[in-house]
């Protein structure tokens, strides 16, 4: 199975579970209902959510087409991915997922989703520090170290190109 199909399969599971199924359960458990009308806050939520989704999709395509792998830990890229959105920050897929969740929290005006977003961001930060970065350092060595020196983990640096 080609890298694009593998990446789309993984991404569908990732997005479906972490960004659709679990947030829907959070809304259900907290008793939040869809807004009766769409006002400026809901429109802002839609825009933020769509921007996050677009960033995540761009990352998935970059992983499969450039890295020849997927974002899944069990099927990592064969090459270090430093192009596309990875030129600006090292973890744009998580940033995109966070934006999508923030958009949903805005749309529903849900503090429960804000709490879910905070837990998601903490979990991804810990996973990046404790698993992903050591693994990438082991797999790609100096190339990864140089990339880290140029590109910020969560925020773009002025000198990243």
pLDDT, average across residues 69-76: 73
- Asked if 123 and 58 count as a contact pair (C-beta separation under 8 A), the reply is no
pLDDT, average across residues 43-57: 93
Nearest to 94 by CA among 14, 26, 7, 6: 14
Q: What percent of the chain is modeled with pLDDT above 90?
A: 58
- Count of CB atoms situated within 10 Å of the CB of 146: 13
Say whether pLDDT at 160 is over 60. no
Which pLDDT value is given to residue 31?
A: 86
The DSSP string of 7-63 is HHHHHHHHIIIIIIIHHHHHHHHHT----SS--HHHHHHHHHHHHHHHHHHHHHHHH
Nearest to 124 by CA among 156, 92, 150: 92
pLDDT band at 4 (very low <50, low <70, confident <90, very high): confident
Nearest to 86 by CA among 63, 64, 102: 63
Whole-angstrom distance, CA of residue 116 vs CA of residue 69: 29
Name 89's bridge partners: 152
pLDDT band at 40 (very low <50, low <70, confident <90, very high): very high
Of residues 89 and 70, more confidently modeled: 89
Say whether pLDDT at 94 is over 90. yes
Mean pLDDT of the chain: 88
Domain ranges of the chain: 3-150
pLDDT, average across residues 119-135: 95
Say whether pLDDT at 81 is over 80. yes
Tens-digit pLDDT profile for residues 132-141: 999 999 999 9
Cβ contacts of 144 within 8 Å, gap of 6 or more: 80, 136, 137
């Amino acid at each position: 199975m080609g890298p694009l199909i593998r990446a789309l399969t993984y991404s569908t599971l990732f997005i479906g579970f972490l960004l659709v199924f679990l947030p829907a359960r959070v809304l259900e458990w907290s008793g939040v209902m869809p807004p009766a009308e769409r006002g400026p806050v809901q429109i802002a939520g839609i825009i933020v959510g769509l921007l996050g989704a677009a960033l995540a999709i761009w990352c998935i395509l970059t992983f499969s087409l450039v890295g020849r792998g997927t974002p899944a830990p069990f099927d990592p890229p064969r090459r270090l991915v430093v192009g596309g959105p990875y030129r600006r920050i090292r973890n744009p897929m998580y940033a995109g997922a966070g934006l999508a969740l923030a958009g949903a929290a805005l749309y529903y005006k849900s503090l429960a989703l804000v709490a879910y977003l905070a837990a998601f961001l903490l979990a991804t930060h810990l996973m990046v520090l404790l698993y992903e970065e050591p693994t990438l350092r082991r797999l790609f060595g100096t190339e990864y170290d140089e990339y880290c020196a140029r590109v910020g983990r969560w925020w773009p640096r002025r000198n990243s190109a």
